[in-house]
Amino acid sequence: MALRSARPTDCLLKPSNWEVEIDPGSSALQTTMQTTFENDESELILHRFLTTGSLSSIDRQTLTIQLLSHSWQLQGLGITPQTVDSILNQRLDQLQLLFAPLQTFCQEKLGWPICPIDLLWHLWLPLAAQIAQWRSLLDRPLIQGILGIQGTGKTTLTLLLAEILPIFGYQVCHFSIDDLYKTYVDRQQLQQQDPQFCWRGPPGTHDLSLGMQVLQQLRQANFPVAIPQFDKSLHQGSGDRIQSIEVSKADIVLFEGWFVGVHPIDPQVFDAAPLPITPADRPFAEKINRLLQDYLPLWDQLDRLIVLHPADYRLSQQWRQQAEQQMIAQGRSGMSAAAVREFVAYFWKALHPELFIPPLLQSPTVDLVIEIDADHRPSAVTVPAHP
């Protein structure tokens, strides 16, 4: 089975070992990771397994106990003392098939020195299994939304899932809300009408009719479907739409973006809006909030939603600066620290994470939350508690 490859734009870093925390005061089940991974036995066990093709009884017992302690997997994948043996065998078979091609993918496409086997085992494989299980409940393609503000790793996670999911027997296609941007000419006209739309990205800069057409075709399995593509390098970085890619079949559609699934909020919230929203910025923030209403029919096409949630939204600015510094160090063009601050602040003024993300996490539209810590590593997977 051929695995697809694509170009990464951001990064999820290697995690540490896992432990279970269940808040007795909440029905939400939460699986967390410690801050170090030196004592994570599973990493050594899995490398031994890949080398020898077998597990000792002690190693199998260790992996079994770990599987039974991951509460979000217990709930979503039906792992019980009765099923854990067969699920462990299946996952080990998947690991053997996936590790070598995924190692190549991580090195050649993501620029990583290795494929982090602990992250593959503890997060990527079970997450793919969960998405595959959601797909099995439908008689049509699954539209899987993935939300993450800048720098959280939504694009990288999407690319990795597109590599892993075929092992479950499903064909995958993926695209971003960025691929739905209006054309360069249309955005220039928009900017002339309202100079506050100086950057592509916020609500109002996308072709919603195109998005609805594509998602509805995919949802109804009306193939072939032309998946739009957007090249951000055109027109001195302003970007423009390019030739679409024709998809002849897809069982699972991964649709990612920095505000996918986000809903409008009560306008009164802007009475005490956090910085960088100033009184002068408030009309723009309120306008963007109103424009979000137009995106709700697009979100209605989603079957499931996964949210990548940083411990502090302000980390996204730090991560963006790091990414730009790396590009400059590699001899490529990149933004200065001041330009990054201005760029990120613009998006916070449009859709401030402190205002829009917390209500979303409490809504029944969110199925899983992956928390990202200050070191840019996944630190928790949560199944939200819905009323």
Question: 301-328, pLDDT tens digit by residue?
Answer: 999 999 999 999 999 999 888 888 877 8
Residue 371 Cα distances to 31, 33, 148, 375, 378, angstroms:
10, 10, 10, 11, 6
Is the model's pLDDT at 201 over the cut of 90? yes
Mean pLDDT of 215-237: 95
Are residues 176 and 156 in contact, defined by beta-carbon separation less than 8 angstroms? no
Instruction: Look over the chain and give the mean of its residue pLDDT values, rounded to a whole number.
Output: 88
First to last CA, the chain: 42
| pLDDT score for 97 | 97
| pLDDT score for 302 | 98
Number of Cβ within a 10 Å radius of residue 58: 9
Confidence of residue 35 (pLDDT cuts 50, 70, 90): very low
Task: Give the Cα separation of 118 and 70 in Å (integer).
Answer: 14
Residue 81: closest CA among 65, 94, 100, 98: 65
Tokens linked to 149: 């503000």
Question: 42-84, pLDDT tens digit by residue?
Answer: 999 999 999 999 999 999 999 999 999 887 787 778 889 999 9
- Preceding peptide of 224 cis, ω within 30°: yes
Share of the chain above pLDDT 70, in %: 89
Residue-wise burial string across 5-30, b where 16 or more C-beta atoms lie within 10 A, e elsewhere: eeebebbbebbbbbeeeeeeeeeebb
32-383 — its CATH code? 3.40.50.300
Confidence of residue 106 (pLDDT cuts 50, 70, 90): very high
User: What's the whole-model pTM score?
Assistant: 0.89
Number of Cβ within a 10 Å radius of residue 38: 8
At position 143, the amino acid (one-letter code) is I
Question: 144-154, pLDDT tens digit by residue?
Answer: 999 999 889 99
Is the model's pLDDT at 33 over the cut of 50? no
Mean pLDDT of 12-31: 34
Is the model's pLDDT at 27 over the cut of 80? no
